[in-house]
């Protein structure tokens, strides 16, 4: 189950789930092109990666909402690396307020970062993947897509779009040796959760819903991503893998 030597694009790589997964891939000998718009968090990622032997970290500071700027920066980096083998569309924004308070522009801003930037990433990566007859695309979905959380309508819609694209791309790219899957995290205790007014109550709520009675760890996401990116997952495509401690069951 090796990802050694693979070139992995990871958007939002400096975030709560992205940073530990990026370190996991580096330890496994992959090259990670880590994209994020937050210079401070990218610097923290570089510092954390310092000293890891085997893999290689390349950072690209880019604002994904500038789709054409992202396309140009990514194309340049991808060419320098000799192409991308794995694309992980992970970056996301998640504003929260009642539906009526969102403007159309609010919706479009979330779609641009959470979905459209992923389309750009796949458009840049696809020629190499097709030429080599091997590729892995992993879209990060969310447990919120299954219902249960209010006030997140643009975010939930964006995750639905990613699940739809996962199926459409899986069908379209499969003949070229490219698999496309979504990974749906459950509720992980990252920074986004710290704004919760009742952290202990929220943890109780999460554990009540999970089958596995511990909180998720970013390492759980990293392990599942590494599997989906490997040869071992070559016969799995168009699926949503729920990494949520046995919360959602399909």
Ligand X SMILES: NC(=O)c1ccc[n+]([C@@H]2O[C@H](COP(=O)([O-])OP(=O)(O)OC[C@H]3O[C@@H](n4cnc5c(N)ncnc54)[C@H](O)[C@@H]3O)[C@@H](O)[C@H]2O)c1
By annotation, the residues acting in catalysis are 155
Q: Report whether 89 contacts 33 (CB < 8 A).
A: no
Q: CA 80 to CA 22: how far, in whole Å? A: 20
Stretch that binds ligand X, among 34-42, 71-79, 125-133, 197-205 (CB under 6 A): 34-42
Site string (110-139) toward ligand X, x via CB under 6 A: ---x--------------------------
What the block records as the tokens of 191 is: 């920074």
**Segment contacting ligand X by CB under 6 A, of 14-22, 50-58, 129-137, 201-209:** 14-22
Which x/- pattern over 192-231 shows residues binding ligand X (rule: CB under 6 A)? x---------------------------------------
The minimum distance between CB 155 and ligand X, in angstroms, equals 7
Candidate list 7, 22, 24, 37; residue touching ligand X; CB under 6 A: 37
Cα 84 from Cα 93, distance rounded (Å): 24
CA-nearest of 181, 182, 184, 115 to 145 is: 184
Size of interface with ligand X, in residues (CB under 6 A): 27
80-109: contacts with ligand X (CB under 6 A): 90-93
Instruction: Give the C-alpha separation, 67 to 42, whole Å.
Output: 20
Q: Between the CA of residue 99 and those of 21, 90, 94, what are the distances in Å?
A: 33, 24, 13
Residue bearing tokens 């990622």? 45
Reduced to 3 states (helix: H, G, I; strand: E, B; else coil), residue 36 is strand
Q: In what order do the strands lie in the sheet with 178-185?
A: 56-61, 31-36, 7-11, 86-89, 135-140, 178-185, 240-243
Report strand pairing: 135-140 vs 178-185.
parallel
Tell the smallest beta-carbon distance from residue 185 to ligand X (Å). 4
DSSP-assigned beta bridge partners for residue 243: 185
The contact pattern for ligand X, residues 38-77, with x = CB under 6 A and - = no contact, is x--x---------------------xxx------------
Per CB under 6 A, the segment of 31-39, 123-131, 169-177, 201-209 that binds ligand X is 31-39
Looking at the Cβ atoms of 18 and 245, the one nearer to ligand X is: 18
Which residues form the interface with ligand X (CB under 6 A)?
12, 14-18, 36-38, 41, 63-65, 90-93, 113, 140, 142-143, 185, 187-188, 190-192
């Amino acid at each position: 189950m090796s990802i050694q030597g693979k070139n992995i694009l990871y958007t939002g790589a400096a975030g709560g789930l992205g940073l530990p997964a990026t370190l996991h891939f580096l330890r496994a000998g992959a090259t990670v092109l880590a994209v994020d718009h937050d210079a401070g968090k990218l610097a923290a990622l570089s510092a954390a990666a310092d000293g890891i032997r085997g893999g290689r970290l390349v950072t690209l500071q880019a604002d994904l909402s500038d789709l054409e700027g992202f396309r140009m920066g990514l194309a340049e980096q991808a060419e320098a690396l000799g192409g991308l083998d794995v694309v992980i569309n992970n970056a996301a924004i998640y504003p929260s307020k009642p539906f009526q308070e969102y403007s159309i522009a609010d919706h479009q801003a979330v779609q641009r970062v959470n979905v459209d930037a992923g389309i750009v990433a796949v458009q840049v990566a696809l020629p190499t993947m097709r030429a080599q007859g091997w590729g892995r695309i992993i879209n990060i979905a969310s447990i919120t897509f299954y219902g249960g959380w209010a006030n997140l309508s643009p975010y939930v819609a964006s995750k639905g779009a990613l699940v739809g694209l996962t199926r459409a791309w899986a069908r379209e790219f499969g003949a070229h040796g490219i698999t496309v899957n979504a990974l749906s995290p459950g509720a992980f205790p990252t920074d986004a959760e710290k704004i919760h007014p009742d952290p202990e109550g929220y943890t109780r709520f999460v554990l009540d819903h999970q089958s596995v009675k511990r909180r998720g760890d970013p390492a759980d996401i990293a392990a599942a991503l590494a599997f989906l990116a490997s040869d071992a997952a070559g016969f799995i495509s168009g699926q949503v893998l729920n990494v949520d401690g046995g919360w959602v069951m399909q």
